[in-house]
Amino acid sequence: MSKQAFADGQFGVTGGAMTRKIMLQGTGSDVGKSVLVAGLCRLASNRGLKVMPFKPQNMSNNAAVSDDGGEIGRAQWLQALAARVPSSVHMNPVLLKPQSDVGSQIVVQGKVAGQAKGREYQALKPKLLGAVMESFEQISAGADLVVVEGAGSPAEINLRAGDIANMGFATRADVPVVLVGDIDRGGVIASLVGTHAILPDEDRRMVSGYLINKFRGDVTLFDDGIAAVGRYTGWPCFGVVPWLKAAGRLPAEDSVVLERLARGGGRALKIAVPVLSRIANFDDLDPLAAEPEVDLVFVRPGSPIPADAGLVVIPGSKSTISDLKDFRAEGWDQDLKRHVRRGGRVIGICGGYQMLGARVTDPLGIEGSDREVAGLGLLDVETEMAPEKTLRNSRAWSLEHDVALEGYEIHLGRTTGADCDRPSVRIDSRPDGALSADGRVMGTYLHGLFASDAYRAALLKSFGIEGGATNYRQSVDAALDDVAGELEAVLDGRWLDGLLGR
């Protein structure tokens, strides 16, 4: 496909109808593809197009329950929100959820299909291409535009055989590619030129141009860089995207972002979050981080839980038993007991809830070789792992604070015990979770409870501070509009008009 054809908007045919399509691939991981795809989806939607996001393969423990009842990456859920369309399992047909010593759980078109270690998965990829292409056809049907997100980098040519995430998909589906380079990490010219140099001819022909992302300062200072990339590759630059301030108000997809989060200070309430090795759905915490009177502290391995924290939140985990063992090895179990003795409070969500009980058993070895491990003993409950996964969007009610909730459940295992007689929430008329007798320790399987403005306000009020004034869901939607506006201002107008059909 020629560069001129791309610029003129001739994107190819999918499902028998004209559907424009574009794929953003990165020169490396964490270059900002997810946010750019979300921004392009919102921009296209604002111009009246039916736009659909798509990611052939995602690796993340941040998962969502799609509107059609399956499991997808939360980035694709956010991109569907940006596109103003219902989320679907076909937007992310292959989701890999890393576990501990059993490799990754493989979710295909929303349902668990098994698990595999790295080398085993490489052998499975060609068999998954059929599901990927079927989902792509489903997503493309009736759409004006499909914006596809790659994974990792096409420069990983050691993984090219059987690839379904980057060029293997692009060449099979005839989707033109725009490379995204992250200038903030340095070496962006070398990463683009190097990618051009090592791509096979078939893959190189799919690249129509590139974007520079996360630029800070005077953009004209990179004019010579654009010229240099053009000399070595012949690729045009479709825009230099600044550091998008509004992106900080969007949920983050990958736990790599936790490496860069720093402590705040001087705020009314410190909330500590131990960073588990297999932390899952940590975007549960974003609404708390947005509160002006909350100092949300992510506690890294090797650091103690802060003694001045008023609340400790134990987040979800993809591998409860493994993370529970690590929690104890860090000495966080003793920190947590001291925290409770001082009058501090604890909330456990999903896997974090399971850890708070007396023990976790895994008779079928679903999570690995350990069949039983002692819990943290702060709730009088026990959990037994079982192969059936609970997966649903739910409306709920906080019995603790008497306010409405809305969220989702993604978990294995069943939790029972005396403290379950004091459920913390009611989900779709079912009791869920547990409260300790003194009310200071609470657990629930409901993800998303902090996104309820009324619940957040009631929780913070119980600590003597005001909160919950911001409509969190509206703030995310407004951030998507802001990202779209920033992109529209900096992307090449001719390329953008070709993409959006003018």
Is the separation of the CB atoms in 340 and 302 below 8 Å?
no
Residues 453 and 128: their CA atoms lie apart, in Å, by 41
Q: Which of 26, 45, 112, 129 is nearest to 84 (CA)?
A: 45
Strand segments (E) across 79-206: 94-98, 104-108, 111-116, 145-149, 177-182
Eight-class DSSP state of 184:
G
Eight-class DSSP state of 152:
S
- Which of 196, 339, 411, 447 is the catalytic position? 447
Residues 412 and 410: their CA atoms lie apart, in Å, by 7
Is the separation of the CB atoms in 488 and 43 below 8 Å?
yes
Helix (H) or strand (E) holding 86: none
Helix (H) or strand (E) holding 392: strand 382-398
Long-range contacts of 391-397 (CB under 8 A, 24+ apart): 391/65, 391/69, 391/70, 391/71, 392/65, 392/69, 392/428, 393/65, 393/67, 393/69, 394/427, 394/428, 394/446, 395/427, 395/428, 396/425, 396/426, 396/427, 396/428, 396/432, 396/446, 396/449, 397/425, 397/426
Q: In which region does residue 53 sit, left (phi positive, over 0), alpha (psi from -120 to 50) or beta (all else)?
A: beta
Is the separation of the CB atoms in 430 and 378 below 8 Å?
no
Q: In which region does residue 115 sit, left (phi positive, over 0), alpha (psi from -120 to 50) or beta (all else)?
A: beta
Is 41 part of the annotated catalytic residue set?
Answer: no
Task: Please name the residue that has the structure tokens 């003993």.
Answer: 377
Helix boundaries (H) for 162-319: 167-173, 188-198, 201-204, 223-233, 286-289
Q: In which region does residue 56 sit, left (phi positive, over 0), alpha (psi from -120 to 50) or beta (all else)?
A: alpha
Token pair listed for 50 = 């039916």
Termini Cα distance of the chain:
20
Eight-class DSSP state of 365:
-
Is the separation of the CB atoms in 434 and 419 below 8 Å?
yes
Token pair listed for 454 = 């009324």
- Which of 350, 401, 411, 420 is the catalytic position? 350
Helix (H) or strand (E) holding 235: none
| Sign of the alpha-carbon torsion through 374, 376, 380, 381 | negative
Is 447 part of the annotated catalytic residue set?
Answer: yes
Residues known to be catalytic: 350, 447
